């Protein structure tokens, strides 16, 4: 199926505008996963047969490979992601208010380099509508069989000083449906959002989110709240961010969001793509986002869960991030360039690597190379 996608699916998608191709793929996935026959075929083609179990945040994951934020902003194809075998699904970024995002075109592909540039700007239906989408889904199909995460963003219209209310309102509305919250203060496409990576804004947001946990989970200790950071921070800024997030109760970190740094284009089309404003994802992001995993693993003695995302295109990439210190992994661009078979490739590959190294669980491999330069 990977070969089929490479020969037929990808060339067809290449002929289309990137965002239109993305929306068509989402609709197709939703359609195929709702029909019993095509759902069975999807499962047979894409769902990994092996499991690589891991327990994080007191939750069980059948394997560590999940869908990164941005792919299904409005939670419209949950069954599709489950059917193709993802280990967990992150929806969003969701903002308190509905918003259209930036003007189109706003998503660009550099096929040779396997990179994307996007300046979507948190286009999403808003927290109220998305909570209704989830309610409808849960009533019809029950809760998903894999953990559901939500990426929390800030509405463009909300001033920075009120950001904490925006994040907390969305969290409250989506609380009944989700297992993990990711505070995204690192998207480059909402003006000044990255300012919230600094102490004052970050602490206010984390406090407001903990408040929601306290209000809604009177018996337990609340749901995990993670933070997602930009790869463009210096190592010193990253260290400070980790310290602030951890001491203010964040349960882990997602490394990383897209970058403002650009590689060399391999042809004139790519040069143009890399001149576009926005965040870059895919293969060129791999090294920096993996290096950040090593840094945070060392800083926290491997005791603070890290989610590795950025440029995963193969099982070798996934293994490198695990060895650097990631316990869970995600991808977005990899699905665009390698197709839905990426999940099977990664999970079966990880299973094989664990066996070849004589490890009995994934946790044995986490952070094994964190001390390498
Ligand atoms: C079109 C697009 C939209 C994205 N939207 C979000 C978002 O809403 N929130 C977020 O935290 N990350 C968002 N991301 C970043 C991804 O979740 C991920 O961190 C990044 O793309 C690096 O992973 P990759 O190299 O596997 O794509 C988006 C990425 C892309 C390409």
Q: Is it the case that residue 371 has pLDDT exceeding 90? A: no
Q: Is it the case that residue 238 has pLDDT exceeding 80? A: yes
Which amino acids are annotated catalytic?
Answer: 187
Q: Is it the case that residue 1 has pLDDT exceeding 60? A: no
DSSP code string of 142-200: -S-SS-EEEEE---TTS-GGGHHHHHHHHHHHHGGG-SEEEEE---TTSTTGGGGGSHH
Q: How confident is the model at residue 128 (pLDDT cuts 50, 70, 90)?
A: very high
Q: Per the confidence metrics, is the pTM higher than 0.75?
A: yes
Burial class (CB in 10 A: 0-12, 13-18, 19+), 173: buried
User: Residue 21: its pLDDT value, please?
Assistant: 85
Q: How big is the chain, counted in residues? A: 373
Q: Is it the case that residue 338 has pLDDT exceeding 80? A: yes
| pLDDT tens-digit readout, 179-220 | 999 999 999 999 999 999 999 999 999 999 999 999 999 888
Structural domains of the chain sorted by starting position, each given as residue range(s) with its CATH number in brackets? 2-365 (3.20.20.70)
Ligand 1 pocket residues where CB is under 6 Å: 68-70, 92-93, 107, 116, 118, 120, 122, 151, 153, 184, 187, 228, 257-258, 281-282, 285, 309-312, 331-334
| Ligand 1 atom nearest to CA at 330 | 26
Least-confidence region, from 21-30, 120-129, 225-234 = 21-30
Residues 6 or more apart from 114 whose CB is under 8 A from it? 282, 283, 311, 313, 333, 337
Q: How confident is the model at residue 160 (pLDDT cuts 50, 70, 90)?
A: very high
* 202 backbone dihedrals φ, ψ, rounded to 5°: -60, -45
| pLDDT tens-digit readout, 272-307 | 999 999 999 999 999 999 999 999 999 999 999 999
| Ligand 1 atom nearest to CA at 333 | 27
**Mean of all residue pLDDT scores within the chain:** 95
| Ligand 1 atom nearest to CA at 93 | 8
* 270 backbone dihedrals φ, ψ, rounded to 5°: -65, -40
> Contact at 8 Å (CB) between 258 and 277?
no
User: Residue 221: its pLDDT value, please?
Assistant: 86
Q: Is it the case that residue 318 has pLDDT exceeding 60? A: yes
- In the numeric block, which tokens belong to residue 370? 């964190």
User: Residue 8: its pLDDT value, please?
Assistant: 54
How many Å apart are CA 206 and CA 253, to the nearest integer?
Answer: 13
217 vs 179, 213, 222, 336, 369, CA distance in Å? 12, 6, 5, 38, 38
Ligand 1: centre distance to CA 321 (Å): 17
């Amino acid at each position: 199926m990977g070969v089929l996608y490479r020969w037929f699916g990808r060339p067809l998608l290449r002929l289309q505008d990137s965002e239109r191709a993305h929306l068509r793929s989402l609709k197709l996935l939703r359609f195929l996963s709702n029909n019993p026959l095509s759902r069975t075929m999807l499962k047979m083609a894409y769902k990994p047969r092996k499991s690589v179990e891991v327990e994080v945040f007191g939750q069980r994951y059948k394997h560590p490979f999940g869908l990164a934020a941005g792919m299904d902003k409005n939670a419209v194809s949950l069954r599709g992601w489950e059917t193709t075998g993802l280990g967990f699904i992150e929806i969003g970024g969701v903002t308190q208010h509905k918003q259209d995002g930036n003007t189109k075109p706003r998503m660009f592909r550099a096929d040779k380099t396997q990179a994307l540039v996007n300046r979507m700007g948190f286009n999403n239906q808003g927290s109220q509508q998305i909570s209704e989408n989830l309610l409808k889904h849960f009533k019809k199909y029950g809760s998903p069989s894999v953990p559901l995460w939500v990426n929390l963003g800030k509405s463009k219209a909300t001033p920075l000083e009120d950001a904490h209310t925006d994040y907390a309102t969305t969290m409250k509305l989506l609380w009944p449906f989700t297992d993990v919250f990711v505070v995204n203060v690192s998207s480059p496409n909402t003006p000044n959002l990255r300012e919230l990576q600094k102490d004052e804004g970050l602490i206010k947001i984390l406090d407001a989110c903990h408040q929601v946990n306290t209000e809604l989970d009177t018996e337990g200790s609340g749901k995990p709240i993670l933070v997602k950071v930009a790869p463009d921070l210096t190592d010193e800024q990253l260290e400070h961010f980790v310290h602030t997030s951890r001491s203010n109760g964040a349960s882990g970190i997602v490394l990383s969001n897209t970058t403002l740094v650009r590689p060399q284009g391999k042809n004139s089309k790519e040069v143009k793509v890399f001149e576009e404003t926005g965040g870059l994802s895919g293969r060129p992001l791999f090294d920096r986002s993996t290096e950040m995993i090593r840094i945070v693993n060392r800083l926290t003695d491997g005791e603070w869960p890290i989610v590795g995302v950025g440029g995963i295109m193969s099982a070798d990439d996934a293994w490198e991030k695990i060895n650097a210190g990631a316990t869970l992994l995600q991808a977005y661009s990899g699905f665009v360039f390698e197709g839905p078979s990426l999940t099977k490739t990664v999970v079966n590959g990880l299973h094989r690597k664990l066996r070849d190294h004589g490890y009995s669980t994934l946790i044995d491999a986490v952070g094994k190379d964190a001390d390498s330069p």
